[in-house]
Every structure is written in structure tokens, then in C-alpha cells.
């Protein structure tokens, strides 16, 4: 029943997962570009639109363990197809929504549930179940880089469409582009899972979740990933608004998001290679600490387009590069049998932070007229995340012994 995948099959499986994530994450991470034109068109206010996107941040995380559990039980194919279709539906109906509640339904629920079902937990879990052990670390970096490549491509393309065709037509175009992920599902899920030796008997998904939630290291990982979600959601939602406050054109925001995606391609690949060389908790601590320093540097820098581009490149290197080491720690602690479920729960913690980052950013700009206090909070949380990861229980990396 089981067989070893050839190198071309390993590559195809990895690239298929990366391609799906490029589409689901590229579209999702570019929604902040729609805030200003949506507000101008509907008059709903930035706080109301931000709330809808904040609900989407939480929903995207909440669906991760559910989608992961279904994929672990029944296989990832149906989960991915349903997610892609629902994400396309959410984009397609958004132009017909003229209230805050309508946007919560279309962007906060439909689009977020769909993109979440076609995101990290299911994709990394599906790939890990089909790839040999020695290929998983690198594959997780490549898959993660796919999401970053999607952001690099989608942000400037959608900005051009918004400017040239209007935000409604751009949203419909996003729906059509989302459907391009469907052919890749078959490429990812065509192979049988590889045979895995389990150290203990499989006592079911419920026992696996209870065991994980009682593990101090797993909870510390959640706490650090919470701050990562706060950071990313705040920036991806409100960076266009920050650029506007500085009197710069919208293209600076779209190119900044694109640069974040481009830089994270390299960051994700580097993070995937680091998983095999260093303890993942140290990789995470370094990434979170660098974010605190970059935000501090941004706050004292002149607010021109080159500041945003350099800031974006620096942040982009660690943007979603936290995913490979985080998934690696979960796999080391509990194995890969229920990786999609357990990593999905970690992503839920990430998106609780994401909800607060997107929503509080909207409240801050509405009340204070700028994002100063959000930058301070973001910097403090990043520093805390660097410290929180250090006590995580993780075995040292075994170096090969020379003959």
C-alpha cells in the first residue's frame, strides 16, 4: 500500500502545496488594499471595515484545527476543494454587500473560512503525510515561500486592478484567480501517505489534543505565535492606512506588501534550512527579536517611500518564516499523525492575535488619528515573543559524526 516517493514526485507534491498557498494567501493578505476604496464607495467607515477583516483573521484561525481534523480523518482533497470554492464565493459576493454585517459574512466568514481550509495546517499536514522525513523541513520552507510569492504577485496586480477597473471588478477578478488553485489539489493529494512508525499506539485525535494542551512547551509556542498573528494582521490590514497618513501614494503600500512577500520567499527558504541545523525555538526567538528592533528603527526613521520599502524588506524576511520552525516543534513534540490538527490549533492562537491586531488598529486610527500606540504594542509583543520561546522543550540537533 505504501511506497517511497521519487525525487520528482516529492518536488511535484511540494510545489503543488506551495501553489495552492500562493493563491489562498496572496488574495487574503492583499485585502487591506480594498479598505480605502470600499470606505469611499460605501461610507461604512474604516472601523467597521476593519472589524469585518478582524473577524476574518479570527475565523481563518478558528477553521484551521477543524479543517485539519477533517483532513486528518478523511483526507485533504475534499477540504481543499471546498475551501477554494468558498473563498472564491466570498470575493464574488463582496461587491453586493452594503453593510458592516454583509462584509462580515462575505470577507469575515466565507472568504476567511475558504482561505483557512486551503492554508497552512491542511497543506503542511498533507505534504508531511506524503513526504519522507528528510524532505519535510525543506518542503515546509518551500510551501511557506509559496504563500509569500502569492503576496508578492497579488498585491501589485490587485492594486492595478483597483485603480484601473474599480474595487468591485478587482474583487470579482480575485474570485476568478482563486479558482486557479483547483487543478493543483489533485497534484498534491494523488499520492498515498507514506508509512510512519509511531512510538506509541494511536489513541485518537481527542487524546492527542488533550495531551498537547497539557504540555507547557506547546502552550508557550501558542503564546509566541499569538504575537506573530497580532503583528502580521496589524500590518497587512493597516499598512495602506499608515502610508496614506504619511502623504504617500497608494502604490507605495502595494509595493511594500509585495516586497514583504518577496523577502519572505527567501526568509521562508532560509527558515526551512535552519530547521535542520538549529533548534527551532532559537530560530523563532531570533525572528521575533528582530521584529522589535525593526519597528523601533522605523519609528525614528523619516517617513518616505524608501523607509517603507526597507522596513518591508526587513520585516518580510521573517513575515511567515515563523511557520516552518513552529510546525517543526509541533512535529517534534507530538509526531505527524495529527500534525494538521495540532498545528491548526497553534494557528488559531496566531489568529486570535490577528483579530486583535486588525481590530485594535481600526479603533486606534478612529480614536487617535494615527497608529502610534499600535506600533508600541507591536514592538513590546515581539520582544515578549522572543523571550517566551526560549524555555520550550526541544531536543538539540544531532550533528552528523565524521567517519
Q: Pick the closest to residue 330 from 188, 202, 222, 182 (CA basis).
A: 222
CATH 1.20.1250.20 matches 7-190+204-388: yes
Phi, psi (degrees; rounded to nearest 5) at 160: -65, -40
Report the C-alpha gap between 84 and 186 in whole angstroms: 13
- Can you give the pLDDT of all 403 residues of the chain as single tens digits? 444 556 777 778 888 888 999 999 888 888 888 988 988 888 888 888 888 888 888 888 888 888 888 888 888 889 999 999 999 999 999 999 888 899 999 999 999 999 999 887 788 778 877 776 666 667 777 887 888 888 788 888 998 999 999 999 999 999 999 999 999 998 887 755 554 444 445 667 778 888 888 889 999 999 999 999 898 889 888 888 899 899 998 889 888 888 888 888 888 888 877 877 888 899 999 999 999 999 999 999 999 999 999 999 998 888 878 888 888 888 888 877 777 788 878 888 888 898 888 889 888 888 888 899 999 999 999 999 999 999 998 877 655 444 4
Alpha-carbon distances, residue 228 vs 136, 240, 275, 330, 344 (angstroms): 23, 19, 18, 16, 15
Q: Which positions ≥6 away from 291 have C-beta within 8 Å?
A: 231, 315, 318, 378, 379, 382
Report the C-alpha gap between 21 and 115 in whole angstroms: 9
Kindly state the greatest CA–CA separation across the chain: 71
Report the C-alpha gap between 302 and 355 in whole angstroms: 29
Q: Could you please report the per-residue DSSP string of 6-70?
A: PHHHHHHHHHHHHHHHHHHHHHHTTGGGGHHHHHHHH---HHHHHHHHHHHHHHHHHHHHHHHHH
Other C-beta atoms lying within 10 Å of the C-beta of residue 48: 19
Amino acid at each position: 500500500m505504501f511506497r517511497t516517493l521519487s525525487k520528482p514526485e516529492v518536488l511535484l507534491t511540494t510545489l503543488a502545496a506551495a501553489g495552492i498557498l500562493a493563491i489562498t494567501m496572496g488574495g487574503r493578505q492583499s485585502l487591506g488594499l480594498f479598505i480605502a476604496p470600499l470606505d469611499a464607495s460605501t461610507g461604512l467607515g474604516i472601523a467597521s471595515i476593519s472589524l469585518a477583516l478582524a473577524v476574518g483573521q479570527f475565523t481563518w484561525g478558528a477553521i484551521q484545527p477543524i479543517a485539519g481534523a477533517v483532513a486528518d480523518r478523511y483526507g485533504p482533497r475534499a477540504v481543499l476543494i471546498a475551501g477554494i470554492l468558498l473563498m472564491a464565493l466570498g470575493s464574488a459576493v463582496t461587491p453586493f454587500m452594503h453593510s458592516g454585517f454583509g462584509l462580515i459574512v462575505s470577507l469575515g466568514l466565507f472568504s476567511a473560512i475558504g482561505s483557512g481550509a486551503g492554508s497552512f495546517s491542511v497543506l503542511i499536514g498533507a505534504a508531511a503525510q506524503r513526504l519522507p522525513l528528510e524532505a519535510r523541513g525543506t518542503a515546509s520552507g518551500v510551501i511557506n515561500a509559496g504563500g509569500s510569492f502569492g503576496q508578492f504577485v497579488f498585491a501589485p496586480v490587485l492594486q492595478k486592478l483597483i485603480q484601473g477597473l474599480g474595487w468591485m471588478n478587482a474583487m470579482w477578478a480575485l474570485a476568478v484567480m482563486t479558482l486557479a488553485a483547483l487543478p493543483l489539489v489533485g497534484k498534491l493529494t494523488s499520492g498515498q501517505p507514506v508509512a510512519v512508525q509511531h512510538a506509541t499506539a494511536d489513541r485518537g485525535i481527542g487524546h492527542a489534543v488533550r495531551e498537547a494542551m497539557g504540555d507547557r512547551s506547546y502552550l508557550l509556542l501558542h503564546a509566541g505565535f499569538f504575537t506573530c498573528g497580532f503583528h502580521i494582521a496589524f500590518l497587512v490590514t493597516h499598512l495602506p492606512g499608515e502610508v496614506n497618513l504619511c502623504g504617500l501614494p497608494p502604490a507605495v503600500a502595494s509595493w511594500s506588501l509585495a516586497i514583504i512577500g518577496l523577502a519572505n520567499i527567501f526568509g521562508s527558504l532560509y527558515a526551512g534550512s535552519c530547521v535542520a541545523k538549529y533548534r527551532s525555538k532559537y530560530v523563532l526567538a531570533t525572528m521575533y527579536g528582530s521584529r522589535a528592533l525593526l519597528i523601533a528603527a522605523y519609528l525614528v526613521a523619516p517617513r518616505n517611500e524608501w523607509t517603507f520599502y526597507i522596513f518591508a524588506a526587513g520585516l518580510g524576511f521573517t513575515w511567515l518564516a515563523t511557520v516552518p520552525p513552529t510546525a517543526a516543534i509541533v512535529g517534534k513534540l507530538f509526531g505527524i499523525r495529527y500534525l494538521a490538527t495540532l498545528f491548526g490549533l497553534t494557528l488559531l492562537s496566531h489568529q486570535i492575535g490577528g483579530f486583535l491586531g486588525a481590530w485594535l488598529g481600526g479603533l486606534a486610527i478612529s480614536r487617535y488619528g494615527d497608529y502610534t500606540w499600535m506600533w508600541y504594542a507591536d514592538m513590546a509583543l515581539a520582544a515578549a515573543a522572543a523571550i517566551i520561546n526560549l524555555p520550550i522543550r526541544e531536543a538539540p540537533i544531532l550533528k552528523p559524526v565524521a567517519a
